[in-house]
Amino acid sequence: MGIEKIIFYVFAALSVYGALMVITVRNPVKAALYLVFTFFASAGVWILLEAEFLAIVLVLVYVGAVMVLFLFVVMMLDINLAQLRAGFVRYLPVGVAVAVAFAVMLIMLVGGDWFGGFAPPPPSPAEVSNTRELGRLLYTVYVYPFEIAAVILLVAIVAAIALTLRRRSGVKYQTPGQQIAVRRQDRIRMIDMPSEERK
Amino acid sequence: MMDWFVELWQAVPLGVQTVVIILLQIIAIVLPLMLCVAYLTYAERKVIGAMQIRMGPNRVGFFGHRLWGLGQPIADAVKLMFKEIVIPAGANRGLFLLAPVLSIGPALAAWAVVPFDAHLVLADIDAGLLYVLAVTSIGVYGVIIAGWASNSKYALLGAMRSGAQIVSYEIAMGFALVGVLMAGGSLNLGSIVRAQEGGVLHWFWIPLLPLFVIYFVSAVAETNRAPFDVAEGESEIVAGFHVEYSGMAFAVFFLAEYANMILVSGLTAIMFLGGWLSPLQGLLPESAFGVPVIGALLGDGIHWFIIKTAFFLFLFLWFRATFPRYRYDQIMRLGWKIFIPITIVWLLVVGVMILAGLPPWFDGA
Amino acid sequence: MLENYLPILIFILVGLAVGGMMIMLGFILAPNRPDSEKLSPYECGFEAFEDARMKFDVRYYLVAILFIIFDLEIAFLFPWAIVLKEIGWFGFIAMSLFLGILVIGFIYEWKKGALEWE
């Protein structure tokens, strides 16, 4: 067994452990941190697959951005644990159904004759950069889905603003343009007046 | 004695040998870095002292000599080591101690891909710059977790402010990095430096000038340094997210902040000022670089990288001594409404420059 | 390619270990004499009268969402930037369109006042 395989099993075990902790730990902040940990371990597995661009983007986008949002939310919301647990039994059947459906799909996709049934593809030569390969295809052959991604992101921006933006009334804003445009004569008036006489 | 070591070494399995060599290389990076951090704090106090016509630290020296206070950072470190680590009663113990570790880990790990000179780089990975961006984006966790785990109002306020600020400036920083990638045509930091060969006029700071300025200012904001230090704001929220930290736990946050400063200074030098390249290239005749000792000093090498990094570190200190603190709404406005539009426009400008093959930067292959 | 990632894995572990060891050192060398006053959270001399974990302005949440979207955009820009010379003007126009669509979102955001911070 080579060192690569050992590292793979370590990362795989860590990601399974992390995922289990996400759903069993009680404190929501800790659950979010375990999810971060799981993403890290999966990034390690992806690197072993020589998908370096995807692995690092996984860390950049999910760990560096999405999970920061999750943490903000769980920290801000003051989640009441007792209330959450009360609904557990009620939602259990739905949850089980979704889980079973997922498992069936996974097995149909990768299961059966796929397990150990084929040789791994030969490792690509060192000078091939998979970021470069991705770039060559994404913006030429797959340009149409790429532009659709932009539209989806646009929808996300609009939706996020529409859902969360609340205007508070009576708030005073600064307008830096006006502040800079202010001249001395707008604010100061020089008055010539005789001094008062001392009594 | 020597033979014994050689024999012992050969008895070690090959895999372990590699790991030991890598560990030694890492120590060779981390130890000087820690020393730099220690003396950066000294330099900060001396430089700001000089700017305010004070002496700065000048008492603590070695062996009875004062030596301009050179012993001060060592004394500070020893003092912090012997100070109690107070864990507040309402705090979340595990997370409270995890936070400083999460902030120093990324600050150190990012150095793995930094090229010190043409051959001196620990991990010459292809996606170097992407790795740096990903690893530094993890640093925000230390801040957020510290603020939440302390269970103190000031800490939480500081953490929230700092978190929102760091993520806002990360966007401007990311866009600026994309400009560098376009110009360099690679994600590998070594290749980016090599793309700038040919003397001071060939470095990327000229075609990417707006991105250069935005990158460095964002880096200042990202490291929570003055004038963007509302997250710490001593006078308003008493040091922000690390208000409850003391002793070594505080020292680790402090180390991480200064290690990050050195990191972003080094990255700025690599991406915009040609890293280890000599500015005299192309100005002096080729024969000048052949002169024994002087030629080596004038030519490319790690010393240029260190000089350039030191220049940016000096700017950090200078900013702190000069600028008053920004207000929070001003910080967010600068990040979102000024930096992001400028970077997007400049990316398109750079794209046109590259496709038009503008000399002397983009006329190569 | 993989052999280049081994030093990185080790460096990340060393980085975390350095932090962990320093804190451990602090616990070993430093005294530990807690009392209830020392352990109470800092509150400018007041007694802490409630849990510090309070509700926050939804604006922070909005900033985080917008950050994710722009971060994704940057992730799309990275491969484009390094192959720009190969894909030429076609790639440039494709990306201009992509950025153009997102700039519409950015303008909407600006006009709606989502970037104001009061």
Q: How far is B352 from chain C (nearest CA, A)?
A: 8
CA torsion C103-C108-C112-C118 (nearest 10°) is -10
Residue B239: predicted pLDDT: 65
**Interface probe with C: pick from A66, A139, A164, most Cβ of C within 10 Å:** A139
Number of domains in chain C: 1
- With a CB cutoff of 8 Å and minimum separation 6, the contacts of A44 are A7, A11, A14, A55, C9
- Residue B62 φ then ψ, to 5°: -120, 140
Residue A169: predicted pLDDT: 63
> For residue B106, is the peptide bond before it cis, meaning its omega torsion is within 30 degrees of 0?
no
Q: How far apart are CA A71 and CA A31, in angstroms?
A: 10
Residue with tokens 């000096």, as numbered in its chain: B314
pLDDT tens digits, one per residue of B144-172: 888 888 877 778 878 888 888 888 888 88
CA torsion B121-B124-B125-B127 (nearest 10°) is 60
Determine, yes or no, domain membership for C117: no
Of B184, B185, B254, B188, nearest in space to B223 by CA: B254
Residue B237: predicted pLDDT: 60
Taking CA atoms, what residue in A is nearest to C80?
Answer: A135
Q: How far apart are CA B116 and CA A160, in angstroms?
A: 43
- The Cα-based distances of B93 to B90, B148, B159, B365 in angstroms read 9, 11, 17, 57
Instruction: Report whether pLDDT(A190) > 80.
Output: yes
Amino acid at B221: A
Contacts of C71 in chain A (CB under 8 A): 60-61, 64-65
Q: What number of other Cβ atoms are within 10 A of residue B241's Cβ?
A: 33
ipTM surpasses 0.95: no
Contacts of C52 in chain A (CB under 8 A): none
Strand partners, B62: B65
Beta carbons of A32 and A77 less than 8 angstroms apart: no
Contact A68/B170, CB-based, under 8 Å?
Answer: no
Contact C83/A132, CB-based, under 8 Å?
Answer: yes
C88 touches chain B (CB under 8 A): yes
Determine, yes or no, domain membership for C118: no
Q: What's the token pair of residue B188? A: 């590998």
C33 touches chain B (CB under 8 A): yes
Instruction: Report whether pLDDT(A189) > 70.
Output: yes
Total H helices, total E strands in chain B: 14, 0
Residue B262: predicted pLDDT: 93
Q: Which residue has the higher pLDDT, B230 or B341?
A: B341
DSSP B40-82: HHHHHHHHHHHHTT---S-S--BTTB-GGGTTHHHHHHHHHHT
Count, residues in chain C: 118
Contacts of C61 in chain A (CB under 8 A): 69, 72-73, 76, 164
Count, residues in chain A: 199
Residue A171: predicted pLDDT: 67
pLDDT tens digits, one per residue of A35-48: 999 998 999 998 88
pLDDT tens digits, one per residue of B198-224: 777 888 888 888 999 999 999 998 888
Residue A78: predicted pLDDT: 63
Residue A18: predicted pLDDT: 93
Residue B5: predicted pLDDT: 80
Instruction: Report whether pLDDT(B356) > 90.
Output: no
CATH number where C94 lies: 1.20.58
Contacts of C16 in chain B (CB under 8 A): 101-102, 105
| Pick from A108-122, B43-57, B86-100, C61-75: least confident | A108-122
Residue B310: predicted pLDDT: 92
Beta carbons of C83 and A139 less than 8 angstroms apart: yes
Contact A68/B167, CB-based, under 8 Å?
Answer: yes
Beta carbons of B277 and B197 less than 8 angstroms apart: yes
Name the residue ranges covered by the structural domains of chain A: 124-164
pLDDT tens digits, one per residue of A7-33: 889 999 999 999 999 888 888 888 889
Q: Which residue has the higher pLDDT, A145 or B197?
A: A145
Q: How far apart are CA A42 and CA A63, in angstroms?
A: 11
Instruction: Report whether pLDDT(B290) > 60.
Output: yes
Residue A178: predicted pLDDT: 81
Taking CA atoms, what residue in C is nearest to B21?
Answer: C7
Taking all residues of chain B, what is their mean pLDDT, rounded to a whole number? 84
Taking all residues of chain A, what is their mean pLDDT, rounded to a whole number? 81
Q: How far apart are CA B299 and CA B292, in angstroms?
A: 11
Domain with C51, as residue range(s), is: 2-112
pLDDT tens digits, one per residue of A132-144: 888 888 888 888 8
Nearest CB partner across the interface for B89, out of C15, C40, C74: C40
Report the predicted TM-score, pTM, of the whole model to 2 decimal places. 0.87
Mean pLDDT per 10-residue interval, chain C, length 118 residues: 80 89 84 69 58 66 85 88 84 89 88 73
Instruction: Identify the band that residue B276 occupies on the pLDDT scale cut at 50, 70 and 90.
Output: confident
Residue C43: predicted pLDDT: 60
Q: How far apart are CA B166 and CA B219, in angstroms?
A: 9
Contacts of A65 in chain C (CB under 8 A): 64, 67-68, 71-72
Q: What are chain B's partners, defined as 3 or more CB pairs within 8 angstroms?
A: A, C
Residue B332: predicted pLDDT: 83
Determine, yes or no, domain membership for C50: yes
What region does A103 belong to: left with phi over 0, alpha with psi -120 to 50, or beta? alpha
Q: How far apart are CA B351 and CA B344, in angstroms?
A: 11
Instruction: Identify the band that residue B298 occupies on the pLDDT scale cut at 50, 70 and 90.
Output: confident
- With a CB cutoff of 8 Å and minimum separation 6, the contacts of B142 are B99, B100, B101, B102, B103, B104, B253, B256
- With a CB cutoff of 8 Å and minimum separation 6, the contacts of B80 are B247, B248, B250, B251, C26
